[in-house]
Chain A
Amino acid sequence: MATAPTKRITDIGPPHYAQFLPPVIKRNYGTWAYHESVAPGVLCHVGASGERLYTVRAGSPRLLSVQTIRVFAELADRYAGGYLRFTSRNNVEFLLENAENIAPLKAALFAAGFPVGGTNNAISNVVHAQGWVHCHSAATDASGLVKCVMDALYDQFTAEKLPGKLRVAVACCLNMCGAVHCSDIAILGIHRRPPTIQHDLLRKICGVPTLISSCPTGAIRSATVDGQPSVSVVEAQCMYCGNCYTVCPAMPLADPENDGLSIWVGGKVSNARAEPRFSKLAIPFIPNNPPRWPEVVAAVVNIVDVYARHARKYERMGEWIDRVGWPRFFELTGIAFTRDHIDDFKHAGLTYARSTHLRY
């Protein structure tokens, strides 16, 4: 008889976090009293016990090779007792007990190409999607856009000089893996042409009823093509969401000349002061211009500059625009207001100006 196979391990879930917590955190878990900002990218949390924990935050490109992760591990060993974490915005944070290690760790991070910053009223790292690096529905590349935008905003990451927090996000299509819908500035890849229907492939790999029901505007209709069941698209009804392509690979809508970027502003998720809210359309379309997307970078830098000059202390982008009004936003940024800015989907009427509260 063959020996019994070793039992296959499944459904164990992630490792329990407790084994990854530095001793100073274990000792002060749940009893932190307050925190101080030591420098951009450096926080000090003080426990009720009086113990101090120093956090050094560095930006990363999110797409990391194992070689670079090992560099982070090495820095953690050298300066932070081997303990580190990542943030919800793709930063890496080293957790230090010894304040004397802050300066050499910062120096080592900068030397390795990873800027320290992203705290308080700085521009933190960009939350973003996968893009051409690894996604089938991307209308643009996320990592490239993030790189170009953050090259231009680098000094806003390493210093805390904005009126309030400013969160930037990039998503490559309307699926919004980059959660751009509630960001201060969002760059969103968009398609602008209806899907092309590959009837031969469709019939082999797609279910027509599922495909029809995938369309949020009812633009996909059943059709007979060459005597076989297939679909047609009412092009005037298509708003290029790509949901049909996600359920049926025979409906591609990538189009190099018509795909591109849109820019959205004024969203937030925090409840601090104003309520959480969606980002609103600032620029409906900018063509894809890789590898450096200069038009997108210029547009983002312009919006950041105008916000930095005009917002009051602690006002987020959307709160500033609330105060001055959208006409002033378009005037100050020099962005053209067009018919594309006026909503025509569900609840569009709620976005019409329904008062005479106008600023002249």
Chain B
Amino acid sequence: MADAPRKTEQLDELEKGPWPSFVTEMKKAAATGPVGDDLLGQLEVSYEEKRTHWKHGGIVGVRGYGGGVIGRYSDLAEQFPRVANFHTMRVAQPAGWFYTSTALRTLCDIWERHGSGLTNMHGSTGDIIFLGTTTDELEPTFKELTEAGFDLGGSGSDMRTPSCCVGQARCEWACYDTMATCDDLTRTYQDELHRPAFPYKFKIKCSGCPNDCVASIARSDLAIIGTWKDAIQQDDAAVAAYAAGGLNIQQDVCDRCPTRCMGWDGTRLTISNRECARCMHCINVMPKALRPGKDKGAVILLGGKAPIVQGALLCSVLIPFVPAGELLETVKELTARIWEFWGEDGMNRERIGEMIQRVGLANFLDAIGLDPAPEMVSAPRDNPYIFFQATEPEPAGG
């Protein structure tokens, strides 16, 4: 029996206006996909009742993996049977989110055969999101994905799919090869990514410069942010061209510098590079005239997260500078030590940042064998309640 198209008066309002509409996308998928308009129907009810109708719970996945699939069930299954179980599959994205049209069509064909035909390009962590399929379709989808060269990403208490900015593929500011680093880390940690064995999730993000286009400092547990140690590369003729072109170098460049390390006498820009905090502002404003230095590498920071459970945290500095050539090896060695301590002493659902808050950064450094450095703090402590550690007495006459 052919049903009349479901009425979606609330959702139809979201097809009005100039910005592209997700409702239009859902209707396109409904017209041909196996879910039909059940997803639209359930969402219409949510809009009417102002509440979600998804339940969680129930472990689903593909054989041998513990992550990559998020079980999702409707609490209106009788009314909308075709979304009764409607699981998300996270498919690990290629580094930098680059595709060919052929690769995208392959993904579309697989998902049209096995799921709702709806995706997120991409999810917040970075994965390709296949939005909604049944338990029975998980394994066949996975088989086709892997045969096409794709694999699932992370979910639950595991290593989540690393992500990175466009890096050296298209950005003159990238101080290390973010895509190669991200790809290597993703491959290296396939086991940790697919088989949850951590206290909670662990995210790695790679940004090529302090502009941090993948928000690594806020959204990852371990952030690798490119920077440089030597002087900003400066092209005086190009600076003069910006000035001649109308840029107010004093006001828009020098006065916006957080360390006031720049001077402009009307003809020549001088930079006191020892005071430069590598913030990127002047380089952002004059990309033809200024570039990061040549001694490139990255800062490694740790502990960022959103509020759940103990409050939001930004990452803080763990290693102030690692030369680009030593970056991968350093990250892997450091990660092993961090995971060992966290795995041993971390509590259930405790992110690494929260654990550091609990045990203290100094104790954490002891545990992973790093020496304290002034770059790790915004200021030394201002309270005198110091837990001095018992030390061996100095040998007499030493």
Contact = CB atoms under 8 A, between A and B. Distances in A.
Interface of A: 8-17, 19-21, 25, 29-30, 32-36, 45, 53, 55, 59-70, 72-74, 76-77, 82-88, 90, 92, 95, 113-115, 127-138, 141, 143-144, 146-148, 150-151, 154, 157, 174-179, 181-182, 205, 210, 213-214, 216, 241-243, 246-247, 249, 254-257, 259, 269-278, 288, 290-292, 313-314, 345-346
A178 B287 contact: no
The 5 closest A-B pairs by CB, nearest first: A151-B17, A271-B210, A73-B101, A176-B306, A9-B146
Interface of B: 10-11, 13-14, 16-26, 28-29, 32, 39, 43, 46-47, 49-57, 63-65, 72, 86, 88, 91-105, 107-109, 111-112, 117-124, 126, 131-132, 143, 146-147, 149-151, 161, 163, 165-166, 168-172, 174, 177, 179, 183, 186-187, 190-191, 194, 210-219, 225, 251-252, 256-258, 277-281, 284-285, 287-288, 291, 306-312, 314, 347-349
Contacts of A132: 43, 46-47, 51-54
A201 B18 CA distance: 45
B102 A82 contact: yes
B96 A181 contact: no
A73 B105 contact: yes
B52 A136 contact: yes
A147 B19 contact: yes
A66 B94 contact: no
B128 to A, nearest CB: 9
B140 to A, nearest CB: 12
Contact of A243 (B121, B126, B284, B309): B309
Contacts of A138: 52, 54
Contacts of A114: 20
Contact of B212 (A146, A214, A254, A276): A276
B169 A68 contact: no
A11 B51 contact: no
Given A61-B21, A259-B51, A87 B258 contact: no
Contacts of A13: 92, 151, 183, 186-187, 190
B303 to A, nearest CB: 13
Nearest to B15: A147
A196 to B, nearest CB: 13
A84 B99 contact: yes
Contact of A174 (B169, B194, B307): B307
22 contacts: A8-B143, A62-B121, A63-B120, A64-B25, A65-B119, A66-B109, A66-B112, A76-B100, A88-B165, A115-B20, A127-B124, A132-B52, A133-B22, A133-B131, A136-B54, A175-B306, A177-B123, A177-B124, A213-B347, A246-B308, A273-B256, A276-B218
Contacts, number: 364
A60 B121 contact: yes
B19 A269 contact: no
Given A17-B183, A64-B120, 16 more contacts: A9-B143, A25-B170, A30-B177, A62-B122, A65-B118, A113-B24, A130-B120, A132-B47, A133-B43, A174-B306, A182-B314, A213-B348, A272-B284, A273-B256, A276-B212, A313-B252
A153 to B, nearest CB: 8
Contacts of A55: 170
Nearest to A273: B281
Nearest to B257: A273
A85 to B, nearest CB: 5
Contacts of A17: 94-96, 98, 169, 179, 183
Given A11-B194, A25-B169, A273-B279, A82 B183 contact: no
Contacts of B16: 151
**Which of B57, B101, B177: most chain A CB closer than 10 A?**
B101
Nearest to B46: A132
A72 to B, nearest CB: 7
A216 to B, nearest CB: 5
B108 A70 contact: yes
Nearest to B98: A20
Contacts of A148: 14, 17
A278 B101 contact: no
Query: Which of B100, B150, B285 is the most central at the interface, judged by chain A CB atoms within 10 Å of its CB?
Result: B100
Nearest to A313: B252
Nearest to A175: B308
A14 B118 contact: no
B124 A178 contact: yes
Contacts of A12: 146, 149, 151, 190
Contacts of B169: 17, 21, 25, 29
Contacts of B94: 14-17, 20
B252 to A, nearest CB: 6
B223 to A, nearest CB: 10
Contacts of B13: 291-292
Contacts of B309: 214, 216, 241, 243
Given A65-B29, A82-B101, A271-B279, A134 B183 contact: no
A88 B211 CA distance: 13
Contact of A20 (B63, B64, B103, B310): B103
A175 to B, nearest CB: 5
A250 to B, nearest CB: 9
Contacts of A8: 63-64, 143, 146
A88 B19 contact: no
Given A14-B94, A74-B101, A276 B186 contact: no
A83 B119 CA distance: 19
